[in-house]
Structure 1
Amino acid sequence: MPRSRAPAARDSGGEPRDTRDTRTSANVPASARGGADALRGPTGDPLLAAKFAIPAVPRTLVRRQRLLDQLTTGTAGPLTLITGPAGAGKTTLAASWVAEGTAPDPVVWLTAEHEDRAPGIFWSYVLEALRHHQVELPENPDRPGSAEFVEHSLLAGLASGLARRHRPVVFVLDGLDQIPVREVTSALDFVLSHAGPSLRLVVISRVDPLLPLHRYRAQGRICEIRSADLAFTRQEAAALLRGHGLESCEESVDALTARTGGWAAGLRLCALEMQRADDPNGFARSFAASQSAVADYLLAEVLDTQPEATRDLLMRSSILDRVHPDLANTLTGREDAEWILAGLTRAGAFVESVAGTRWCRFQPLFAEVLRTHLRHHHPGLEPRLRRRAAAWLAGHDRLTEALEQAAATEDWEWAAARVVDHLEIGRLLTGPEAQRLENCFAGMPRDLPGTASALVAAACAAAQYDLAGCRAHLDRAEEHIRTGQAQPCPETQLALSLLRLLSSPGTRDREGGCDAVHEADQTLDLAGHVPPARRVRHPEIEALRRYGLARGLLLTGRLGAARTAFAAAADGCTGATDVVRHHSLGQLALLESVHGELNEAEEHARFALATARNRSVPPARRSGIGHLALAAVALERGDLRGARHHLDLASECPDAEHDPVARTEMLVVRTRLALAQGRWRAALAVLAAPAVRPPTSAPWPSQRIALANSASQLARGDPAAAITALHEAGPDTSSHVIALARAHLASGDPDRALGLVPPPDDQRDAGIAQRVDILLIRAHAALLAKDTKTAHSTLGEALTAARPETLRGPFLDAGPWVRHLLELRPDTAHRHAWLTARPAAVNGTFRAGRLPVDGSPSAPLVVEQLSDRERQVLQHCAQVMSTEEIAEAMCLSVNTVKTHLRSIYRKLVVSRRGEAVRRARELSLLPPAVEQGAYREGGFGS
């Protein structure tokens, strides 16, 4: 379709423009007014004055200062090039630049068209444009006498005349791509080179003109504004919508910007459609290019202007997100796709190359229009093209893209077979393309016959934490294998065994061992039957095997072996298995928190969360276990606010309501939070709610729930119920034995309690938390037996063991007897002031108080005794004295005073003078007279 003769319609972003010249007729040359005195070109046709008009700026123009500044800077040199596809806003940008008065005066505008490609006609328009815009030259060159030829003397005279001007001329040449004539561009380069600084040429084109751009670039004499620069940013797109009265559509900006790629005309046409829509935001979300004016624009301005072979290639290739020349040849049956695609890329026809590759991609809206065009003109062709593309992509190691093409045609059997046969089953669960692969099979019927289909359905279920559904699909796959006549390939057997391992319910075998261990060994053995080259390409298989083994050990209660296995799984992960690393580190941190190794637990939990963020683990594959581990750490340190924060974050993760470990730990954390706040009724209510109870068929979840139930019953004052809860779960772990001993101690049976806990020399395998619990039981039993000396000594051992991890939880749970013992021994309280929210002893004076329960300490955990000099410096600070004044009053140097201040800050755990004075008042470190003095924060520097 030929381009419109009305230059004002070009690059307006979809808005009609008023092309009338706003100057009075008295100032317009006769040639511009038409009539009998209108000038004519060498062919005898009149020169059209509309081509000299500077296009009017749209009413809804978005002012784009970044591009205006580029233009202003660029016209300090000889050549400025603005290139981009149709509707990119090239002409509008230049016109708004001129309209603002930013451009140096005078500005000459010429809109070139295809009919002007003859050299004589083109240069006739150039000369008339100069006259039209009243640019006077010392000598007026003669007009061309022939349409096909221009005398060199004319070009030399024009260049000489421009060079002799005192003020430079900005010449805007819009549409040079319409004149792909070497004679014209060579002459233009000659004039530009010899006119000197008096000519500043601004070229607007859809493609790079036939000027020697490489030379201008090498000399640093060109400014280029490309399509990427012209693309609207999010802020500019939002301003465009506001300009169309769509202030309430802020939520649609991101979707529209992504869909249009920032294409100016597409955004403006969308805005016009949204103005007419009853639900503008709904339109933006469901926008269909084939139903809007965008389709007409692209068809008329881009597709219809291409040769038949190019249109056919574009339509057939539009089924792909990215197209390779060889793949395009496969789809079209041609051999010139690379040449055609390269030409389209150069022409800016909404086709761009993928940097560093032979691949190309289409602008999203343009691709939609092409697909609609394909379905309309060639019904039934699209599925055949997609199957052809799937086969080519699979044969070139691009299986994910091949599966997407197969899924679009619902060829599920082919797609599932490729996943299993190529050992891609693990990539459905981990790796950068896991979510994309799962999406391929979102529409596959889950009861589709066939072993491969059942295995893929099982993997998709496992990815969504539906382990029961996964096992059901695996049963179906095994039934197909039993009834089939052929022996399954090693890849099929390996996929089946791996998924069995990952979906293990955590049961034990007949000998009391872990089923997961047997399944993991079988998976490893089956992997040995797969060709080595294929195994090397899929490291996720071994990573998932290790993780499945660790999970099985955890669910069956073999915590020590599970910790080792999770550490091995995390260490063995590569970049392609970050999902496994993320989950393994979270589980490892959780087990460390259970053992009281809070420092390690916190480090591993934060590493797990950082892995998810920094390695781009998809949100749908992220686990809340890391947050639950941090919640457990916060609880053990008495930080209830931090525990509640991480519990809330964990509840937002996709595994919160599906994964048995996550559900169990969320239940435990909620219960412990309620108990820490003294709300035992709320704790029991959490445990009694059937909707939130996790599956308890595996030993470990049952044991964790029993521990929480026992603690709640003890808080209620019912030791018998606490003992019953533990016996029902089968107390066969050290934590259960300790909890049972605590319950017997609470019931008044210290002898039985002491008989349950191991002796001090037999605690090598117990964790820090368990050792501290045992020491507290022994201390409490000694206190009940009136053996205060042993109670003090044993409590001191417990505090010493807990201090490196800041493990407060066991002391908070033990009851008020811990505080009473500390009150009797201020020296012990002073050494272990870390235990309380406020220091138990300050400068040798014991401060009685309750252990922290709100998790928001306002005083330091450890306070060292202040020296006499430090006390004096602190008193002077409270009197609002500067550092120099304190030094003078105490006969010290300024540096010595600063040293004392730093020591005070360290001991009081503060960073500024005002905080130090306030903390000293809280701890009664200031004399009464100073206590009453006013301290103004920020009165002087620190």
Structure 2
Amino acid sequence: MDQATYSPLIATKLHIPTYGSDLLHRHQLVEEIDEVGMARVILICAPAGFGKTTAVSQWISSAGKPAGWLSLDESDSDPARFWRYLAKAISAGQKEAGREPSASLDLSYTASADHLLSVLLEEIAAIHTDYYLVLDDYHLIKEPSIHEGMQTLLQHASPFLHVILITREEPPLSLHRLRVRKQLGQLGSEQLRFNEKECHRLFNELMGLNLSYEVIQLLSKRTEGWIAGLQLAALSMQGKAASAVELHSFSGNDKYVVDYLTEEVLKRLPEPVQHFLLKTSILPRLSGELCAAVAKEPEAHVILQMLARTNSFVVPLDGVNEWYRYHHLFADLLNAHLRKKYSEQLPALHVAASQWFESHGWPMEAIEHALMGNDRACATRMIVEHAP
């Protein structure tokens, strides 16, 4: 008998997060969630620090929706533990919807995950009012049988149950079926990022920093509307007079940004992927072939697709998953790590990039990388060849 399976549940994991009055209320985003609020599954998918949890919490609070909430962690990949927690979250949602759940959901243990799943479906079918089940940090669930169980639940549950998945990456569920049936609502980083108006409210109304329009516009561009980045920028500015000139230096090398991105993004990736990121950070745009040539990594295209899929601050530049770039602040961080860790390899990396660009007919990029790699002879030759 696994003691972890039968251990008491942690009540705080089942509480809807609440925030103080100093939190910026995002009316437009709440309305966007409301537009997809009747979908069977609502997918809130974006990188770390984009305010996913806060947005859903605000929506539930402002819309007055009955909801059960489950904040997941790595230990919840145990099936029996996961389904026990899910039963409790559904039970809370039912109470909010005005129905007292049956005793079958109030289990301290379960004979099997399959048995509890059938009990859950029976319970869900008994309520005829719309209510919501929120699973926060769903990307931490790695056990395939749990995803299979969730697929079964989504397929057979009553239409009154709406599941909100908050995650850093798309879950391994049959989302394409839900899209075809128009049962999937989805919000990503494009909807979640702060616009300039929200940046103004954050810095001047909530934080009282009294920044000029020029400074706010600059910060919005540097952070690309990344909420954690904006908050970290505000921390860096506390007690200082912020000017546009000073803020040009705000980058991924800022102490707060370095700490956040290193802990929340870089360290969570496998070591070979970290090396790949550092070596390719010299490139303003990325493709599988180019990265393979620079990082000497034959699986470069697969790695780029994985990074984009898991929302690891890699931004697609086209609709065919061929070209990408790193988020500006993430690129700054990677470049700083590169100079510390692989400084002696920098010239060779630039020369490899130069050779690739030249062979593919991009002389300007080839010349730039040749100069950065101190290959002046090659740069001179290309300049002479292409000067006319």
TM-score by length of 2: 0.91
1:283 partner SS: helix
Indicate if the aligned counterparts of 2:252 and 2:328 stay in contact, CA closer than 8 A: no
Give the deviation of 1:118 after TM superposition: 1.4
* 1:408 paired to 2:368: no
CA gap 1:357/1:123 in 2 versus in 1, 3 angstroms: closer
In the aligned structure 2, how far is the partner of 1:57 from the partner of 1:405? 48
Amino acid at match of 1:403: I
Provide, for residues 4-29 of structure 1, a one-character-per-residue CA deviation record: whole Å limited to 9, x for no partner. Answer: xxxxxxxxxxxxxxxxxxxxxxxxxx
1:237 partner SS: helix
In the aligned structure 2, how far is the partner of 1:256 from the partner of 1:60? 21
CA gap 1:272/1:281 in 2 versus in 1, 3 angstroms: farther
Provide, for residues 812-837 of structure 1, a one-character-per-residue CA deviation record: whole Å limited to 9, x for no partner. Answer: xxxxxxxxxxxxxxxxxxxxxxxxxx
Provide, for residues 107-130 of structure 1, a one-character-per-residue CA deviation record: whole Å limited to 9, x for no partner. Answer: 111111111001111011111223
Give the deviation of 1:334 after TM superposition: 2.4
* 1:93 paired to 2:32: no
* 1:385 paired to 2:349: yes
Equivalent residue number for residue 169 of structure 1: 131
Equivalent residue number for residue 362 of structure 1: 326
- Structure 1 unaligned regions, length at least 5: 1-39, 426-494, 496-942
In the aligned structure 1, how far is the partner of 2:20 from the partner of 2:353? 44
Equivalent residue number for residue 116 of structure 1: 76
Larger Rg: 1
In the aligned structure 2, how far is the partner of 1:139 from the partner of 1:195? 19
In the aligned structure 2, how far is the partner of 1:107 from the partner of 1:132? 7
Provide, for residues 683-733 of structure 1, a one-character-per-residue CA deviation record: whole Å limited to 9, x for no partner. Answer: xxxxxxxxxxxxxxxxxxxxxxxxxxxxxxxxxxxxxxxxxxxxxxxxxxx
Structure of greater relative contact order (alpha carbons < 8 Å, 6+ residues apart)? 2
Equivalent residue number for residue 157 of structure 1: 119
In the aligned structure 2, how far is the partner of 1:175 from the partner of 1:386? 38
1:196 partner SS: coil
Corresponding residue to 1:349 among 287, 291, 312: 312
1:631-650 equivalences under 5 Å are none
Corresponding residue to 1:74 among 20, 30, 36: 36
Give the deviation of 1:103 after TM superposition: 4.1
Give the deviation of 1:281 after TM superposition: 3.6
Equivalent residue number for residue 238 of structure 2: 275
* 1:371 paired to 2:335: yes
In the aligned structure 2, how far is the partner of 1:58 from the partner of 1:80? 25
Amino acid at match of 1:377: K
Give the deviation of 1:331 after TM superposition: 2.1
Provide, for residues 727-746 of structure 1, a one-character-per-residue CA deviation record: whole Å limited to 9, x for no partner. Answer: xxxxxxxxxxxxxxxxxxxx
* 1:195 paired to 2:189: no
CA gap 1:411/1:277 in 2 versus in 1, 3 angstroms: farther
CA gap 1:299/1:290 in 2 versus in 1, 3 angstroms: same
Corresponding residue to 2:207 among 227, 233, 244: 244
In the aligned structure 2, how far is the partner of 1:371 from the partner of 1:304? 15
Corresponding residue to 2:27 among 55, 65, 68: 65
Amino acid at match of 1:172: V
Looking at secondary structure, tell me which structure has more helix per residue: 1
In the aligned structure 2, how far is the partner of 1:318 from the partner of 1:209? 28
Equivalent residue number for residue 216 of structure 2: 253
Amino acid at match of 2:293: T
In the aligned structure 1, how far is the partner of 2:263 from the partner of 2:20? 21
In the aligned structure 2, how far is the partner of 1:63 from the partner of 1:285? 28
Query: Identity, % of aligned pairs?
Result: 31
Indicate if the aligned counterparts of 2:87 and 2:106 stay in contact, CA closer than 8 A: no
Amino acid at match of 2:74: H
Give the deviation of 1:239 after TM superposition: 1.9
Give the deviation of 1:44 after TM superposition: 3.1
In the aligned structure 2, how far is the partner of 1:128 from the partner of 1:138? 11
* 1:129 paired to 2:92: no
1:373 partner SS: helix
Amino acid at match of 1:367: A
Indicate if the aligned counterparts of 1:274 and 1:283 stay in contact, CA closer than 8 A: no
Give the deviation of 1:413 after TM superposition: 4.6
In the aligned structure 1, how far is the partner of 2:259 from the partner of 2:220? 20
1:280-429 equivalences under 5 Å are 280-355=243-318, 356-409=320-373, 411-421=375-385, 423=386, 425=387
Equivalent residue number for residue 529 of structure 1: none
1:201 partner SS: strand
In the aligned structure 2, how far is the partner of 1:390 from the partner of 1:277? 42
1:248 partner SS: coil
Give the deviation of 1:403 after TM superposition: 2.5
CA gap 1:117/1:414 in 2 versus in 1, 3 angstroms: same
Indicate if the aligned counterparts of 1:86 and 1:301 stay in contact, CA closer than 8 A: yes
CA gap 1:314/1:146 in 2 versus in 1, 3 angstroms: farther
Indicate if the aligned counterparts of 2:349 and 2:373 stay in contact, CA closer than 8 A: no
Amino acid at match of 1:109: W
CA gap 1:53/1:366 in 2 versus in 1, 3 angstroms: same
Amino acid at match of 2:29: L
Give the deviation of 1:206 after TM superposition: 0.4
Provide, for residues 639-686 of structure 1, a one-character-per-residue CA deviation record: whole Å limited to 9, x for no partner. Answer: xxxxxxxxxxxxxxxxxxxxxxxxxxxxxxxxxxxxxxxxxxxxxxxx
Indicate if the aligned counterparts of 1:241 and 1:249 stay in contact, CA closer than 8 A: no
Amino acid at match of 2:229: G
1:276 partner SS: coil
In the aligned structure 1, how far is the partner of 2:108 from the partner of 2:171? 23
Equivalent residue number for residue 429 of structure 1: none
Moved over 4 A (4+): 144-147, 409-413
With 71-80 and 132-141 compared, the bigger mean Cα shift is at 132-141
Indicate if the aligned counterparts of 2:308 and 2:314 stay in contact, CA closer than 8 A: yes
In the aligned structure 1, how far is the partner of 2:234 from the partner of 2:124? 44
C-alpha RMSD of the superposition: 2.2
Give the deviation of 1:329 after TM superposition: 1.8
Equivalent residue number for residue 45 of structure 1: 7
Indicate if the aligned counterparts of 2:72 and 2:136 stay in contact, CA closer than 8 A: yes
- Structure 2 unaligned regions, length at least 5: none
Equivalent residue number for residue 609 of structure 1: none
Give the deviation of 1:288 after TM superposition: 3.2
Amino acid at match of 2:344: G
Amino acid at match of 2:192: L
1:110 partner SS: strand
Amino acid at match of 1:227: S
How many positions carry a matched residue from both structures? 381
CA gap 1:144/1:209 in 2 versus in 1, 3 angstroms: farther
Indicate if the aligned counterparts of 1:78 and 1:197 stay in contact, CA closer than 8 A: yes
1:197 partner SS: coil
Give the deviation of 1:273 after TM superposition: 1.1
Give the deviation of 1:214 after TM superposition: 0.2
CA gap 1:210/1:259 in 2 versus in 1, 3 angstroms: same
* 1:180 paired to 2:142: yes
Give the deviation of 1:227 after TM superposition: 1.4
Equivalent residue number for residue 173 of structure 2: 211
